[in-house]
Amino acid sequence: MRREVRDLRDVLNPFYYWDEDRRPNNILLSSTGDGYAITFNPTILPEEVLQRAAEIQKQLCKYKYGTRIGINMGPNFVILDLNKTLNVIGWGVTGAQRVMDLAKRDQILCSAAFAEPIRRDVDNLCAINGEYRIKHGNITLDANLWEFTMRAT
């Protein structure tokens, strides 16, 4: 097993059950080639998604990995792909990937669809409005993005 995969497994252990026959998961991991998409079950509250994302980022930083996290909320579908692996498709995961593309190293960005409904309940969400170029720089998007910053512990 590659070191990066082993490190990621160590970080995800509190949130992910590797033996689903014994206990089901509330998240789905999908390899993206150079990273992972982590899709949360809709029963997980948005505030908990932020807490988990922050904890995953904090732990990966201990391993000296730079992370960019994009969070979005939207419809997704779980499918069995051609490799007989569970995978996720839909606007939710596609939007999260595009938001992540705009994030800087060690930054957590959230789409307006995710952040605006909870902005009054989460102290450390900060709006970042502007024009962004996405999808290989070919599409200009006027977007309201929200940055989530961890509190010092």
Local structure of residue 118 (DSSP, 8 states): G
Question: What Å distances lie between residue 147 and 67, 81, 100, 115, 128, CA to CA?
Answer: 14, 33, 11, 9, 7
On whether the pTM is more than 0.85, the answer is: no
- Which tops the pLDDT comparison, 116 or 32? 116
**CB contact burial 64-84 (16+ within 10 A = b; e otherwise):** ebebbbbbbbeebeeeeeeee
H helices of 2-150, where?
3-12, 46-62, 91-102, 112-115
Instruction: Answer for the pair 146, 99: CB distance below 8 angstroms, yes or no.
Output: no
Place of tokens 């391993």: 63
Q: Among the listed ranges 43-47, 49-53, 70-74, 131-135, which one has the minimum average pLDDT value?
A: 131-135
Pick the CATH number of 3-148 from 3.40.630.10, 3.30.70.1230, 3.40.640.10, 3.30.365.10: 3.30.70.1230
Q: pLDDT band at 82, cuts 50/70/90? A: very high
Give residue limits of the domains in the chain. Answer: 3-148
pLDDT tens digits, residue range 22-43? 667 778 888 777 778 888 888 8
Using the Cα atoms of residue 27, residue 149, residue 69 and residue 116 in order, give the sign of their dihedral.
Answer: positive
- Which tops the pLDDT comparison, 54 or 13? 54
